[in-house]
Amino acid sequence: MNKESQIQISETEPAKTKKDLPSTLSLEKTDEEIIFGELVKPTTEKEQKNRETNEEGEEMEFNQETEQKLLETAREIGRRFEIVARGQEKELLDPQISYVVRVRSFAAALKKIWPENDGNPRAPSFELSSVNRELADIQFVFNPNSDEGETADIDGVVKEVKIGVKNLLTAKTLEQFETALETALIKIHHEIEHIKYPGIDEGEGIEGTINYLTNPGEIRAHAVQFAFKYQRRFPNKSFTLERMQSICESNKEINYFIGFNNPIKQEQYGSFGDLAKAHRQVVWLTKKFLDLMHTN
């Protein structure tokens, strides 16, 4: 599931932190907290049985063919969704149009551009096989009553992907509309990755947050969403940690790229999970996904 974490394992406010973020952990600032610059050395494209090794010697799976297909799937869903959102922008921002009418109109526009659906007038289910033939028997749903992303499985096999679009349908300003649209596109990339690499739900407290963020499936899904956001903010630019840190806004971004890179935090919360390893892996994977986006 992809929802905003309630806990920030960091000590500084990044330059672009949103004012409406949930309350976070705030401790005294230390000089060691942010280490700018490249942490990941350039890697070759050589794959050994679909596994590669980062600079710390940790094996990490990166099947380029699989990731390419997942990326293409997310990109096509996002393309259709953004076309509909842009086309509905004027109506969505019209205060005279009721929420119910907005939902039905948005659903109708989605069904027009994606005819393989169940016909539901509010939250239609779309067939992912029409976008990627390898994803048969999986339904994709835009949920108007939520802003969270999630996957539903049966015996470990994903059968449904849901993306919440409530904030988009209730946006009152153009800024809110643009933020909600980008958030939905980010969630699409996150949840599509979970089709092949399942994650977990976030637990309670700091331990629950660290357990969630250090889960291998969550590291992968977050890395692809970070790469997508990075590409939007820095088109065709190579990855640097400094650039990534400059656009950290959510608690998850701050935790992965700043808090988990802090030696004090690594020692303080080491009993809950390997923060340094999670930081290295998310940086490495974000770069790999970004490189893949640049080549297609």
3-145-86-288 Cα dihedral, nearest 10 degrees: 20
Per-residue pLDDT of the chain (296 residues; tens, 9 = 90+): 665 565 677 654 333 333 332 323 322 223 323 222 223 333 344 444 445 556 555 667 898 999 999 999 999 999 999 999 999 999 999 999 999 999 999 999 999 999 999 999 988 999 999 999 999 899 999 999 999 999 988 888 889 999 999 999 999 999 999 999 999 999 999 999 999 999 998 888 999 999 999 999 999 999 999 999 999 999 999 999 999 999 999 999 999 999 999 999 999 999 999 999 999 999 999 999 999 999 87
- pLDDT of 38 reads 29
| DSSP H helical ranges for the chain | 64-92, 99-113, 166-169, 174-193, 205-213, 216-233, 241-246, 251-257, 263-268, 275-294
Q: Is residue 15 within 8 Å of 246, Cβ to Cβ?
A: yes
Q: How far apart are CA 71 and CA 82, in angstroms?
A: 16
The residues with which 60 forms a beta bridge, in sequence order, are 52
Structure confidence by residue, pLDDT tens digits, 55-91: 555 667 898 999 999 999 999 999 999 999 999 999 9
Distance of CA 243 to the CA centre of its chain: 18
Q: Is residue 215 within 8 Å of 206, Cβ to Cβ?
A: no
Structure confidence by residue, pLDDT tens digits, 268-286: 999 999 999 999 999 999 9
Q: What's this model's pTM, rounded to 2 decimal places? A: 0.82
- pLDDT of 59 reads 66
122: Cβ contacts below 8 Å, ≥ 6 apart: 103, 104, 107, 144
- pLDDT of 19 reads 32
Structure confidence by residue, pLDDT tens digits, 230-248: 999 999 999 999 999 999 9
